[in-house]
Amino acid sequence: MNREKEFVRTMGKSDVGKADLRRTLLDRRAALSAEAVAGAQEALGRRALDLPELAGASTVAAYVSIGREPGTRALLEVLRGRGVRVLLPVLLPDNDLDWGLYRGPGHLVRAGRGLLEPDGDRLGVSAVTEADAVLLPGLAVDGRGVRLGRGGGSYDRVLARLSRPGPARVVLLYDHEVVPRVPAEAHDQAVDAVVTPGGVRRFR
């Protein structure tokens, strides 16, 4: 209960910085039980698969969830089973993202920072621009669609490569990670929607 009260108190502060917000959100994720994570993955997958942007997509850029991140693995398999071309990120030494084709869980390799990446050919950093929808990791999003990432800047570069109009930009989060305000900087670009186990919210 004390942890929950602290979370609510932090989320309500107007002057909270990105580092404090990240710390609070990561602590909240770390406290989730395995059962809660599994239940959220099932609900999140159903919500995401109902998105019109995914229903009509031929190519989707996504990612493999790790640890207590909102789960994407079942979602990736359903998309692949539909015949969707699924692109997964490959972290480069400068924190930019290359991309590779998802060919199933048996074709994932453990990389730096504990990430799971696709084996096979690399498609280049611009491959993401071929996607009809881009599913983004994050730690929070606010009512303006401003997304909070982990601070490495990888997805800031991805978002900067996407034209408007262009692929739908969708962040996958837990319900409590839709927060009143995320500190924004000049380079931050808003997402189009957030999917949580509880529903979908659009910003544009």
Which residue range forms the structural domain that includes residue 101?
2-202
- Arithmetic mean of pLDDT over the chain: 89
Provide long-range contacts, Cβ within 8 A and 24+ apart, for 29-32.
Answer: 29/67, 29/68, 29/69, 29/174, 30/68, 31/3, 32/68, 32/174
Residue 112's pLDDT is 78
Over range 165-190, report the average pLDDT.
89
Token look-up 């930009």 returns: 169
Annotated binding residues for substrate: 64, 69
Query: Domain total for the chain?
Result: 1
Residue 3's pLDDT is 52
Residue 14's pLDDT is 45
Annotated binding residues for ATP: 18-22, 147-155
Cα angle: 160, vertex 26, 44; to 5 degrees: 70
For residue 125, the domain's CATH number is 3.40.50.10420
Annotated binding residues: 18-22, 64, 69, 147-155
What's the pLDDT tens digit per position in 51-94?
A: 999 988 999 999 999 999 999 999 999 999 999 999 999 999 99
Residue 189's pLDDT is 83
Predicted TM-score (pTM) above 0.85: yes
Residue 5's pLDDT is 46
17 band by pLDDT with thresholds 50, 70 and 90: confident
16 band by pLDDT with thresholds 50, 70 and 90: low
Higher per-residue pLDDT: 186 or 97: 97
9 band by pLDDT with thresholds 50, 70 and 90: very low
